[in-house]
Amino acid sequence: MIFVFGSRFYGKVDQVPGLGYVATRFAHIQFFPLLPMGSYLVFGEDDSNYQGVRIPLSGKSVLVAWLRAALFLVGIAVGLFAVIALADNDIADALWPGAICLAALVLYAFTKSAKGIGKATSTRAIQLAKCADIPEEALDNLTSQYGRYGIEQNDAVHQPSTRNHDLCHYAERYGGMR
């Protein structure tokens, strides 16, 4: 049996059109994310080469990576049970595993597309844009994409805490991350 291990990015969350997304580099075995090694705002990727900015560890990215991996494993495992039951012409025993497999796939897709998980909220998008030190014109463009009213409303409700007031104060710049 061949064992595959190393590090790679998982937990792609907070996508911002025209800017990038947040992902966490994990140590993995057999492509299952185990230990988070750091989170990044990824601007682009080419094959296995990533360009971005290191940010503080994103708990959301870590949890989403582990959740997606678990949903994938559950979907595969119960899907196999359903296939085995169908091969034995036992449709009744295949229904529950089939339903669980479908639910796992739906939840996996939900974690990819839900606003606030896969796509950044307006407040988070502005926070990440400031972290990336994008020019003021680009920040204005981003503000107009999300709608000025939505940003002001979110900022009024969700004032940043003093702990993470300046997310990027501790950021390190990286180019050619592998």
pLDDT in the model for residue 48? 73
The model's pTM is 0.75
Q: What is the pLDDT of residues 92-143, one digit of tens each?
A: 888 888 999 999 999 998 888 777 788 888 888 888 888 777 787 777 777 7
The token pair that represents 40 in the structure block: 């990044």
User: Taking a C-beta distance cutoff of 8 angstroms, is the pair 40, 9 a contact?
Assistant: yes
Q: φ and ψ at 18, to 5 degrees? A: 80, -5
What are the distances in angstroms from CA 37 to CA 21, 128, 169, 171? 17, 19, 19, 14
Axis crossing angle, helix 148-157 with helix 136-146, rounded to the nearest 10: 90
Domain count, the chain: 1
Residue-wise pLDDT tens digits, 24-61:
999 999 989 999 999 999 988 887 788 888 888 999 99
Q: Which residues constitute the domain of residue 135?
A: 5-177
Residue 177's pLDDT band (cuts 50, 70, 90): low
